[in-house]
Structure 1
Amino acid sequence: MSDDDAGRHGPTGEFRRERSQPLPPGGRRSPRSGRVTVPDARIRRHRNGLLLMGVLSVLVLLASGTSWAITGWMSGSLNRFDVFGDMADGDRPDETGGLTFLVIGSDSRDEMSMEDKNALSVGSTPGQRSDSIMLVRLNHERDHLTVVGIPRDLWVEVPGEGEDKINAAYAYGGPQLAVQTVESVTDVRIDHYVEVDFSGFVDVVDSLDGIDVCLPEAIEDPKAHLDMAAGTHRVDGTEALAFARTRATPRGDLDRIDRQQQVLSAMLDRAMSTETLSDPVKLTAFLDSALSSVTVDEGLDTSTINDLAYQMRDLDLRDVTFAQVPIADMNHWTPRGDVALLWDEPAAREMFAAVNADRPLVEPEPGDDAGAEEEPVPSGISLRVFNGTAAPGLGARLDGQLGGAGFDVTDSAENWSRHDVARTEVRYGPGEERAAEYVAGTLPGSETVEDDTLDGDLQVVIGFNHTRFEAPEVEETQPEEEPSEEGALATTTARDNVCG
């Protein structure tokens, strides 16, 4: 079944409003080029902005360097729709301490030129459908995001329309019926609505100068004009769109959700690891691209965005968890004779109850070691060696010894900023103390030193007391049996999804 077949069974409405064209606070428009200049440094003072937007059912989490005034401009640039105005509270799930966003990727082609349709390989089917759907939960403490992918071909009860694929709800009744349908099948209250179209996705990726995606196996999809070998690729917006939308892999929609989550992680990593958030020109260009094709509910106003920006200012890739609805049957024949997906209802109910209660999606198994941390192993520790003495060759020798023992040595050894380090140091960032102690155990006489500037990788600084390296003994373990694809609940973090 093609992408254009699903969700075609209802009338199509128009759910957008004209976008306003505000200037950034303190900015101005050039009379020659028409481009908007960025605000001055006074307005860009604080790193406290965080914007939630959707890209093909992918949430772009943007930790940006903005102040309240910039946030106000961002809010004013968004298209808005009255999603919740006619929904009676008595018919909806109860409110909880967290915030839940329904993120819709709309595949409307109506406003696209034929040239753009051909360039993006998206076809010409009229009307609007929810090409992808995600439920995004921000917990009560505002320090963790859970993103659950909902397959567009999931067979559900659409309120007032009967059984159909879940993406048909948008075609029947737009954002309101999409929200009502997701609430009815998940029993999770939707607080905010975010929608984006094809063009917005392409513009955002291009504004980041592309992203890195990686494939375990090659994909060839002539319909999407996608031909990618296995391995890591830097892709532009058009290629990333094809990568995120193709279903030319064995698990169809489920594989596509995995790729969309990888794309989201790559976009977040790219934005946070480049100058996009610190360079005013790049930030303004990024926001202008990101917001141009986004529609949100009327409640997501300046005050709400600014509050979220402040509350979520410390989130990073490790604080974003991805999952998708557990599936029981990938080849369910519907009464009308096409194929849909059936979820594993008990597992799905348990998962959404956990989302609603801000519980981790994967609980530790009960037992003596429930909740115990795994013992570090060399292959799971990334580090780099520095020579803190004047003796030549020590760094290179320890590099080879650590690499030979299985540690992930990220780069060649270099000299430390000082040559008078008395005692060997294993320097570590937040949350890496156990890994640092493990490494220190292989270097007799060394000490661990916390360094808040480090993020993930350790640093070994050789001191004058260094005498030897003792390779750790690693027990061989049998690989765990893989769970079945259908019905299994697997989670990853944004950091897990980033290539390399």
Structure 2
Amino acid sequence: MSDDNAGRHGPKGEFRRDRSEPVAPENTRSPRSGRFTVPSASARRRRSGLLVMSALSVLVLLASGTSWAITGWMSSSLNRFDVFAGLDEEDRPENETGGLTFLVIGSDSRDEMNREDQNALSVGSTPGQRSDTIMLVRLNHDRDRITVVGIPRDLWVEVPGQGEDKINAAYAYGGPQLTVRTVESVTGVRIDHYVEVDFSGFVDVVDALDGIEVCLPEPIQDPKAHLDMAAGTHEVDGTEALAFARTRATARGDLDRIDRQQQVLSAMLDKAMSSETLSDPSRLTAFLDTSLSSVTVDEGLDTGTINQLAYQMRDMDLGAVAFTQVPIADMEHWTPRGDVALLWDEPAARDLFADIQADRPITGEEPEPEAEEELSPEGLRVRVFNGTGTPGLGAQLDGQLSGAGFEVTDPADNWSTRTVARSQVRFGPGNEAAAQYLADMIPESETVEDDTLDDDLQVVIGFNFTTFDPPERQAEVTEAPEPAETAADAPATSTAQDNICG
């Protein structure tokens, strides 16, 4: 059974939106010079991280570097709906970090489209509204990182008050409010803002950018979507991009579709950042005028909020936008009513959404510590002492250290005793890292701090000495560590920069 049927189990949502009448900005000029105020190209690139709002997954369409008149007009052009009215605060998750989470919905409503437009976009004529695309977009507390999580529309969940169903049915049952309530209940993540765009709005956004570039590892043929694309890179317009983003005519169906949606979003961000759309006020005005009429947001996403977010995110780039999707355990779950849905991998999903709620990165990498000086044998001064009494052992290690690039300060000598059981690398205060670096090349050795030493190191050979592993051999041994046991369970992630073709 298709997802179109998933939304028919409840009545059409009887919710209405209050649409503001857009009024073109009357004054987009500097009051002093009488000319348009346009930022530099570098400033425009820095400030366009929070950029387009599409049926796929972006936060807010804005251009912080133009003028307050443009931004205010943009805000007044948006349709608004009291999304959070009636939600019981006691039942909602807390926002404990100060990060912001946007629920982004791509609505597949055809009700206001004529048959010609429906045929042109290959979207059919199914009545009613469903959430064709669902994404969580998390802006962290420091406003320097965005995480986008794709939620498959066929995910089998508990819809509050309605029982088990596909997650996109929540929209048909109760519109944006029930969709927010459902997503919050299954993820444990608080929704702070709501963004919704329909088919035509997405097409307008792509066309306003003069198209985008997408790439395919293998061809896609979907007669229903009028899509026939060979493997390789393609320049697509809004209609083609919509078909590319919506088709499920590939092996992994909805999951492949989420990957393509993330690629499309990345391409839109990249195109907008590198184009002249934001630098030309008249072009920007036309862009906003054609694309915003199909956008609905919550009432809290007002002009002041948009301006504040734009300023806070002015230095963000594509590398700071991370994508992933809900981990899936079963792609062919037969529901009690006899259709196929998806079941998520609950433990992995819980970990993912806990990271989102706590503002932790989802890339699977720990935050980088402060850069430390990379060590190498060159420049490290070493002197060898023999603590065993075995003739020639010190001179042998001298030669090995010199051959590896260490600076041997003096010929090897005997240690004060000949009964050292375990080899030592001795170091002065603050030089522990260098000592450990050398100790790693002498198996079973230990590091010992010696207040009488400065920057030089000393090696005292003990009876357990067997060999010296030069740095080249150490690199071979440590180059490919075993992956962590949890790595296979971690969701696949990418950045917007990774998703750009080429």
**TM-score normalised per structure 2:** 0.72
Please list, as runs of the form range in 1=range in 2, the aligned pairs for 1:32-431 lying within 5 A after superposition: 41-42=35-36, 44=38, 47=44, 54-59=53-58, 64=63, 65-96=65-96, 97-364=98-365
Mapped partners of 2:88, 2:151: distance in 1: 24
- For 2:228, the aligned partner's letter is D
Mapped partners of 1:140, 1:488: distance in 2: 23
Does the CA contact (< 8 Å) of 2:50 and 2:313 recur in 1?
Answer: no
- For 1:230, the aligned partner's letter is A
Mapped partners of 1:184, 1:41: distance in 2: 50
- For 1:10, the aligned partner's letter is G
SS in 2 for 1:303: helix
Matched-pair identity in %: 75
Mapped partners of 1:362, 1:207: distance in 2: 32
The residue aligned with 1:468 is none
List gaps (5 residues or longer) in structure 2.
Answer: 375-474
Deviation at 1:5, TM superposition (A): 2.4
Deviation at 1:274, TM superposition (A): 1.1
Aligned CA distance change for structure 1 residues 40 and 228 (closer, same or farther; 3 Å): farther
- For 1:278, the aligned partner's letter is S
Aligned length: 389
SS in 2 for 1:200: helix
- For 1:183, the aligned partner's letter is E
Deviations 1:108-140 (A, max 9, x none): 000000000000010111000000100000000
Mapped partners of 2:501, 2:271: distance in 1: 11
Does the CA contact (< 8 Å) of 1:213 and 1:263 recur in 2?
Answer: yes
The residue aligned with 1:4 is 4
Deviation at 1:26, TM superposition (A): 2.2
The residue aligned with 2:493 is 491
Aligned CA distance change for structure 1 residues 486 and 332 (closer, same or farther; 3 Å): farther
Deviations 1:268-327 (A, max 9, x none): 000011111112222122222221100000111111111111111111101100010000
Does the CA contact (< 8 Å) of 1:50 and 1:61 recur in 2?
Answer: no
Deviation at 1:478, TM superposition (A): 8.6
Mapped partners of 1:293, 1:179: distance in 2: 20
Aligned CA distance change for structure 1 residues 284 and 105 (closer, same or farther; 3 Å): same
Mapped partners of 1:174, 1:269: distance in 2: 32
The residue aligned with 2:26 is 26
- For 2:354, the aligned partner's letter is A
Mapped partners of 1:114, 1:243: distance in 2: 21
Deviation at 1:60, TM superposition (A): 5.8
Deviation at 1:19, TM superposition (A): 2.9
Deviation at 1:55, TM superposition (A): 1.9
- For 2:89, the aligned partner's letter is D
The structure carrying a bigger helix percent of its residues is 2
Deviation at 1:22, TM superposition (A): 2.8
SS in 1 for 2:172: helix
Aligned CA distance change for structure 1 residues 20 and 338 (closer, same or farther; 3 Å): same
Deviation at 1:52, TM superposition (A): 5.7
Does the CA contact (< 8 Å) of 2:131 and 2:171 recur in 1?
Answer: yes
Deviations 1:353-398 (A, max 9, x none): 00111111133489xx99999x9xxxxxxxxxxxxxxxxxxxxxxx
The residue aligned with 2:466 is none
Moved more, 300-309 or 224-233: 300-309
Does the CA contact (< 8 Å) of 1:50 and 1:62 recur in 2?
Answer: no
RMSD (Å) for aligned C-alpha atoms: 3.0
Deviations 1:228-277 (A, max 9, x none): 00000000000000000000000000000000000000000000111111
Moved more, 129-138 or 288-297: 288-297
Does the CA contact (< 8 Å) of 2:59 and 2:195 recur in 1?
Answer: no
SS in 2 for 1:4: helix
Does the CA contact (< 8 Å) of 1:60 and 1:264 recur in 2?
Answer: no
- Structure number with greater Rg is 2
Mapped partners of 1:479, 1:117: distance in 2: 54
Aligned CA distance change for structure 1 residues 485 and 40 (closer, same or farther; 3 Å): farther
- For 1:4, the aligned partner's letter is D
- For 1:494, the aligned partner's letter is A
Does the CA contact (< 8 Å) of 1:54 and 1:105 recur in 2?
Answer: no
Mapped partners of 1:4, 1:480: distance in 2: 45
Mapped partners of 2:160, 2:88: distance in 1: 14
Please list, as runs of the form range in 1=range in 2, the aligned pairs for 1:440-451 lying within 5 A after superposition: none
Deviation at 1:44, TM superposition (A): 4.8
Moved more, 69-78 or 103-112: 69-78
Does the CA contact (< 8 Å) of 1:53 and 1:294 recur in 2?
Answer: no
